[in-house]
Chains A and B, each alone.
Chain A
Amino acid sequence: MKSSQISRGIGRRTLLRTGAVAGLLPLARPFVLSARAADTIKIGLDNPLTGTFAALGKNELIGAQLAVDQINAKGGILGRQVELLVEDSTSGDTATAVQKALKLIERDNVNFLIGNINSALAQAMANTSFEKGVFHIVPGGHTDSVTGKQCHWNVFRVCNTTRMETNSVSKLLLDKYGKKWYFITTDYAFGHSLQDGFEASLAAAGGTKLGADFTPLGTSEFSPNLIKAQSTNPDALILLLAGDDMINCLKQTVQFGLDKKLHIAGAQQELEVNKGLPPNALFGDWVFEWYWKQPGVPHVEEFVADIRKKSGGSVPTARTWFGYAAIWTCQLAAEKAKSLKPIDLAKAMQGLVLPPEVALMPNNPYYRIGDNQLMPTLFIGHSQPAPAGGDPEDLFAVTQLVKGDEAALPVDQTGCKMEWPS
């Protein structure tokens, strides 16, 4: 590799260089994320804003921002205004996520740490917040270990565990379709624990796993797996895939005509995924962790209206609600504890019930004592193309509600051994 240089005029280069540097300087952008002031309560959000999970992270951020606005309008936390410090953890770089968490903790002295969507990042951040003794809520990272084998006294979680998701929907699938299942699963923590959950349900019902394909995160080509799955003639084809992989797989499923031949189902599904699918790919039985259309449930319509204003017309998704509930939980814990000390907050969190204007769902969700896991309601249903004359984002039909604590494993089976500081 040799280089041959053709020199260009120094004058022009210097001029351009100066201009380039000057162009980089002004960072007062319309899209400034946060400004740091003193004597406010600081909540640090360390979540993906770029990469695969950018869309999910954006929605959690919008929910969090709405909560901060509402809290400040009502006087803040313990009389002080709340400031939301936002950091991009990236979608998969653990080193960056941990580094940003340390930045928020050490440099910005946040009172509350929030994050992460990516399960591995969430666990790494939780271990870090535990080392530093900072109050930490995981809004949307699902790996069971966060409130299971690697649970910590200072770490709480809003979204469901994968076991709660699979338990909530497995009875429906077994009854409706049969007991012979084929799995296509994304090969990481989230996928694996979903599959473990379903396999446990299958075993308990005397069902069979016909086969399981693990695909790497970021797979675009599912045809080999779909071909294999179809050849085993399963009662149900279970897709346990992350965001974009799910979109790719469902699109390809339709093109193979498998939606007409097989029953497609899975556990977690998200509105963000459904919005990325063409109408003919909107099918299957899934679990949503929150849905915007809840007729008769108080406060939901106002929440939807508020979010529409903030997001340029889009409805809130489960992710929006995770961010919203996580921030409000901080306020509720602090008001109950009358203190900002992490240990006091954690103690106040034990059994804390979310009021209806935060819960935005039936059945009074609460944080379970023993593993710090929120027990929300799960929304079982099937995907649908937007109904004619209805809202273009009404892409899921809820058929059944399941209480989280009925679907969850008992605390002593989660593997969580909570150790409190003396």
Chain B
Amino acid sequence: MSQLLLFNIVNGLIIGAFYALMALGLSLILNLSGVINFAHGGFLAIGGYLAYTLFPYLGFWGALIASPFLVALIGILIEFVLIRWLYGRDPLYSLLLTFGLAFMIEDGTRFIWGAQSLPYQIPSWLAAPLSTELFFLTGYRVFMMILVAAVVLGLFLILSYTRLGLRIRAGTLDLETVSVLGVNVRVLRNLNFGLGIFLAGLAGVLAVGMLGLEPTVGDNLIMPSFIAIIVGGLGSLPGTLVGGLLIGVASGITSVFLPSASEAVMYVMMAVVLIARPRGILGEEGRF
């Protein structure tokens, strides 16, 4: 039993890292621009589909690198055309708009690539467990964990040491002052959105190694992402990371005892956090 528990905790961390990747993108966009991006799952799907299309030309690794950048470009374009009209308005409108966008992305991917699930092959040396003892540690999942860790590290480095990152952080705290200080807020928001979508696209490429590739592949990942943000604390990126890992582990542990509750336990966690400590684990008081 305890071995089973250990297996599931480790596995839960890996899945949690994946949730965190999604949630971080969502959080970046929410914090700076106040936009609830309901289409995040759609961008994940686009990431997966672009990887599928690029695979014959660039191979697994080429597609892995190229796809998130392409999706980020699409994100930047969409921000310019659609999203930027939402700033300053009630977040409910961003919800409705991105919901509509999600519809269009789902239908668009179905129109272009068809409703039939598409096969995606990962390199065979990744698609095997590391050892027969620790069979649940597959090469692919460890690779995913390492990649997510590297990307998260990269994100924090960008936010801490580059000008863009500094401006994003400052903008999250007080956008008006940042604008008055001469920073082009329009461009800042645009690039921030692109960064968030980059993470979604990357999550998409990673997802299709484990999941079937079809238009609704991102649908079930939206809610866990929001939960991760709330549990970790709105406005705090480290909090989102912790939140994602936490719900991944909680889900894993629950599936040992009551598999059908593995999804519900995330919501229970969120309710508990909201009632007991609304600002979340690492959130600041009075942020929203």
Contacts and interface: CB of A to CB of B under 8 A. Distances in A.
A and B touch in the complex (CB under 8 A): yes
Contact of A52 (B12, B116, B122, B216): B216
B121 interface: yes
Interface in A265-284: 272-273, 275-280
B129 A256 contact: yes
B214 A244 contact: yes
B7 interface: yes
A245 to B, nearest CB: 9
B127 A227 contact: no
Contact of A3 (B90, B132, B136, B263): B90
Contacts of A220: 207, 210-211, 220-221
A223 B15 CA distance: 9
A55 to B, nearest CB: 4
Contacts of B128: 255, 257
B9 to A, nearest CB: 10
Size band of the interface chain B makes with A = 35 or more
Interface string A208-228: 000001111011110111111
Contacts of B138: 255-257
A363 interface: no
A244 B208 CA distance: 12
A51 B216 contact: yes
B79 interface: no
B278 interface: no
A219 to B, nearest CB: 8
B213 interface: yes
A227 B259 contact: no
A1 B90 contact: yes
Contacts of A258: 135
B216 to A, nearest CB: 6
A224 B210 contact: no
A221 B135 contact: no
B125 to A, nearest CB: 12
A50 B107 contact: yes
A171 B106 CA distance: 42
A54 B110 contact: yes
B92 interface: yes
Interface centre among B251, B255, B262 (most CB of A within 10 A): B255
Interface in A15-52: 50-52
A276 B221 contact: no
Contacts of B117: 55, 243-244, 247, 272-273, 275-276
17 contacts: A1-B90, A54-B110, A55-B115, A55-B117, A218-B220, A223-B8, A225-B259, A226-B136, A227-B11, A231-B4, A244-B211, A251-B211, A256-B136, A256-B138, A257-B129, A272-B116, A278-B121
Interface of B: 3-4, 7-8, 11-12, 15, 88-92, 106-107, 110, 114-122, 124, 127-129, 132, 135-136, 138-141, 207, 209-217, 219-221, 251-252, 255-256, 259-260, 262-263
Given A58-B115, A228-B255, 19 more contacts: A1-B90, A51-B216, A55-B115, A215-B260, A223-B136, A226-B136, A227-B11, A228-B4, A243-B117, A247-B212, A248-B212, A254-B127, A255-B127, A256-B138, A258-B135, A275-B116, A276-B212, A276-B213, A280-B121
